[in-house]
Amino acid sequence: FAEAKLLPPHSPPRITNTFCFVCLLQINFVACQLFALLAAFWFRIYLGPSHASSAVRHAFATLFGIYFAVFCFGWYSIHLFVLVMMNYGIMNMASIPNIHRYSFVVAMGYLTLCHISRIYIFHYGILTTDFSGPLMIITQKITTLACQLHDGIGRQAEELTAEQNRLAVKTRPSLLEYLSYLLNFMSIIAGPCSNYKDYIAFIEGRHVHMKLLEVNWKQKGYDRLPDPSPTGAVMYKLCITLVSLILFLTLTKNFPMAYIIDNEFLDKTPFLSRLGYLYVVTQAAKPKYYFAWTLGKSDYIIYFCSVIEMGWKEQGKLIARL
């Protein structure tokens, strides 16, 4: 506040500007998640496999994902694009026996460098929604795809488990498929991570059929492929999201994290009390992440049923549940 006194009368205090800026960035993050939820309904209805080609669906998901990343993270989103393009080069140039090793080293190395720069160079002074979250999701996807490519091209089917056989990727993805898988708007902000083969099946409209084959739908007397309804699963996840938000706002108000650097807390509070308060504060911060992750899963559930376990009700209706 002493610094604020040096500003002209018409200029607001810097601490107020900083607080409002951080709040605005958090609002942008939540707004993108909610917009993705609405876009999911539109994507499911108007850009379904029967209405649009796979290329159109790939392009739409990619362009919206890139826009969300730039909108939320500003120029820091460049880190996401740099990592994606570096590993696309590795995927096309590296030998199959080493593709998973090179991809892992580059992706984890770049992620580690970004974490180090945030801590020791910027001193956590990056006033934006943390771009390291999406970077970690992309790192997961890159290493997952690289291992599945290695399984599909570089190993014999007899060497793989049943799950590895199911997820093995037999051909290298095209640039559009690769960008869509890593940067699609349904998962770029807060995940979740999915398998490449499941994602491509969803884009091409084969995801429901693949799951129905696992439950022997013809033996149950069905003459067509029923369309699973995501409504119940989405509403359930949105309820969890709301509860997480209420818990976060309530707990952080009663147990502010800033108190741990207060001089009175450091000098006069017993060690065990400080340790206990620190534990409570860290637990109070968790619902914020549950809020983001669960909201991200809600986007996925609406139209990406292949990553959701499908089950049969007693009435015979196919439902989607996590």
Residue-level pLDDT at 234:
75
* Phi/psi at 320 (5° precision): -110, 130
CB 96 within 8 A of CB 154: yes
pLDDT one-digit tens code per residue, 301-317: 555 543 344 444 433 44
Of 7-11, 27-31, 150-154, 213-217, the poorest mean pLDDT is in 7-11
Alpha-carbon distance of 201 to 207, in angstroms, equals 5
What is the average per-residue pLDDT within 254-280? 85
Alpha-carbon distance of 41 to 136, in angstroms, equals 27
Q: Is the pLDDT of residue 226 over 70?
A: no
Q: Count other C-beta atoms under 10 Å from residue 219's C-beta.
A: 7
What is the average per-residue pLDDT within 103-126? 82
Q: What percent of the chain has pLDDT over 90?
A: 30
Tokens encoding 37:
């939820």
In this prediction the pTM is 0.75
CB 90 within 8 A of CB 106: yes
Q: Is the pLDDT of residue 33 over 60?
A: yes
Instruction: Give strand pairing partners of 321.
Output: 309
Q: Is the pLDDT of residue 214 over 60?
A: no
pLDDT confidence bin for 290, thresholds 50/70/90: confident
Per the prediction, the chain carries an average pLDDT of 78
Q: Is the pLDDT of residue 322 over 80?
A: no
Residue-level pLDDT at 306:
35
pLDDT one-digit tens code per residue, 193-204: 889 998 998 888
- Return all residues near 89 (Cβ < 8 A) that are at least 6 apart: none
Q: Is the pLDDT of residue 38 over 50?
A: yes
Q: How many whole angstroms from its chain centre is CA 239?
A: 19
Q: Is the pLDDT of residue 5 over 70?
A: no
Q: Between the ranges 44-48, 164-168, 292-296, where is the mean pLDDT highest?
A: 164-168
pLDDT confidence bin for 218, thresholds 50/70/90: low
- Of 216 and 28, which is predicted with more confidence? 28
pLDDT one-digit tens code per residue, 78-105: 999 999 999 999 999 999 999 999 999 9
Identify residue 189 by its one-letter amino acid code. I
Q: Is the pLDDT of residue 4 over 70?
A: no
Residue-level pLDDT at 170:
93
Residue-level pLDDT at 227:
60
